[in-house]
A and B are shown apart, each in its own frame.
Chain A
Amino acid sequence: MNGTFLKVMISLLLVVNTILVVFVCNMVFDLRQQVDNLQGVATKSDLIAMAAPSIELAFEEQCTRCHTEKRFADMPLDEEHRSVLLMNHVRRFNIPESEIENIQASLTLFDYSQYLTKEMLQQMVLMTDGERMEILLGIPEMTRDKAQQILKSYKMLLKM
């Protein structure tokens, strides 16, 4: 029985080890790709940007308790902003002014969440405004004014 137990343990460790090796190789490969993608030496401002908190969409925490995400997805941007103001002034939800701006900025980004994924928003932390505009203008049917508005919302959320 001892021989069988030893055999089982060795086989078990071998398989788990194989999985770990595959995982670690994958992590090393990913890391190498990320290093390859670094375009230059990081500056002090890059390091500060890297320390910035991750982008959190304010409405995800506060609004989705009552509304579904689909509701926001189906609604034009202007209407979304009007709805937030309406809820505050007519329905007397008393959302602070600063919070309204954050929610509206979040909804602006949410409207383009198909293109601006969380990973993309995180990557944009390290970019200059010019590079960010380049990405935003790459979105189909994007106008310069709209891109400026999105960039403003993005920068507002970065300061949160």
Chain B
Amino acid sequence: MKVPVSWLSEYVDIDMSLDDLAHRLTMSGNEVEGIERTGWIDNVVVGHVLDVAPHPDADRLRLVTVDYGDGHAEVVCGAPNVAKGQKIAYASIGAVLQDAYAEEHGKTRKLKRSKIRGVVSDGMVCSVRELGIGDEHDGILILPNDLTIGTPIGEVLGESVLDIELTPNRPDCLGVVGVARDVSAITGKPLKHPRIDFEATGPDVHTLASVEIADPDLCLRYTASVIQGVKIGPSPRWLQDRLTAIGERPINNLVDITNFVMFELGQPLHAFDYDKVIDHKIIVRRATDGERLTTLDGKERKLDDEMLLITDPERGIGLAGVMGGANSEISDSTTTVILESATFHGVNNRITAKSLELGSQATLRFEKSLRSGLSEIGLRRATRLILEIAGGEAASGIIDVYPGKGKEQESVRLDQSQILRVLGVEFENKQIERTLGNLGFELVADSDGWDVRIPYWRPDISIPEDLIEEIARIVGYDNIPTTTLGGRPPQWQPQPEMDLRMRVTDALVQAGMRETISYSATTGEGESRVMLPEETASALKLRNPISADFTVMRRTLREAILSTVARNSRTWRGPIAVFEAGRVFLDFGEGLPDERQMVVGAFAGPRNELHWDASTDQSDFYDAKGAVEAVLDDLGISLTFESADDATFASGRTAVIKVTSANHTIIGTVGEVAGDVLSRFDAEVESVAMFELDLAAVLKVLRDSKSDDSGKFEEFVRLPASHRDLSLIVDTGVTVGQIVEISNRNRIVTSATVFDLFEGKGVPEGKKAVAIRLVYQSPNKTLTADQIGKIEQQILNQLSKEVGAVLRTQ
């Protein structure tokens, strides 16, 4: 909402700087986003035309001598209206003026000394357009004669416009008077109400026109007046200036007045040409389905039976509170008008405007459910201005059809104790009464508090808290004390899902991985790149996607992490070790989707940063597996990895992750991404190792393992441990897992760790060498070398029997 300060000042005196005013309005709820200043131009002053002489070489140009206070200047001027003795706006060399001849609006040019048809022009006499205060450029702007020569033009023409970001609860501030009322409450300066009285000399209005409301649920009140003998024409300068200052285009005096009153009081109005309303009878009813109306903008609108129509006995003449009809529009030949000021149903008005895409200043107000009291005020104000500006004679009385009378809430009960209860501070009764009184509330006091009458301009007030906010915002939030929250602290509730996600996230960060967060939506095609299994639940589709890139909610994080790898592969030369812990959305058709917490991580590029003592190997399967092991170790869960097939991953290089202790429940997958999948992401890397953990499954494992051993202290064995290294030759098909499992069967072996693998020279074709360190420790005695030797032999025998292992001889 744009509020010119000169307009605001008509209703309240402003005795502080504009910056202070803007600050105080902002603090009390009407945020002033900016103050625009127009008409303030350096090097432009009030000048006095001393003489006008013909130009020696051009008939249409004249030489004008201007007294600008500090001296005289001779100016070449083409304006037909310049005359000796006028006060004008004189721009000296260097003034930056609007370029009156530029195509685009707002272009400026700096005034230079120039020769016009052989005569040097020492400055310029300005038009309205050149000064940037309007469009007129047919002649120069003539200023009032009482101005002092040399006065900076800003002091005469300057306007400051407050740009207020209104909140949706304050339709009263969609009128300048509403803002003035807030200023009045803040500053204590009285509000000067605009006059709404008018002299009615014509016949009884009821003999001239009638109004009927057929659908009173959508029209609380309809007031109308009739003015005969008006003269349609351009509005006077002051009215045009008011509208121009807020960015509205003046049309004719009648239309301008209805607009002016809407911006002054917040009540939208409409004027009909009396002679075009058949039988001079207005019927307010719902349209019939498919009924058509050509609106003022010349477009034919197809209506439905929930839209409220203003009609005469034969046809629609206006879309109630949205836009007038072309058939009853005010024209230059109009002599009698019916002026409408009504209260339409907010929600209905909003739906109509939305479905016809006819958002207007009227709907901006009506949709906020204006109170019916405002319509009569608006009607009277506009009628007065029409008589003043367009002349004519007002019919006696007004038409007032008021089916909503008495149906609106009229007052709010406010107890003194409620103020303390909500704000935590007490105010004196006098202060409360003064604060609310300055805002226009009428209070009837009793021993506990007040009955507060809701004024006609405040539809947002309905409960005591609304009034408490009024008090607080005018007193100033900064003047309310600051206390610490006391009372009972609530009971802590376990949040296992969130805790698990944070724990896993932290473990991955400690393992050197970088957390990423991707958009939760994707496209079906995008997601299909990772070859999700067909049995995956269906995706949630977005009804109004923000763009073609985001049409469904994601069902996997695999696509996201591969996109992240691909994006960074083009710009990042170091290791890529990234993960995302987030939700996927699985639609099972009933109610809300399953928002499942997943973690996906990926490794690509070199394993290490470039370093003098680090390998330059590319990361691979074992980096992903190691990250999974680190996380699950941290949770105290022991895992089994089992070779598996998964279309995202390369076959033979993929494993499902199973929890040993929980019946081998699958909690995720780890592997190297299949080449064809990777190629769909344009990743500039040779391979990507990826893991996926289903946190819901992990959580279930943790919940089910009632005998939760993790985290329980185990007394360690104080007897010495011995270790022996074995170098075995086995078939290449034998897995390290098998060797470790066999070695671990003996309870004296506390750990079996493979520390070297070798194939090639010195090892027969089809075989591999595996070096394994076994640690032997008995809980109750120190083992002798003989005893260890015996156990070792047993293990070797078992290895030989089961996987054909033989000791490697050097």
Q: Does B bind A?
A: no
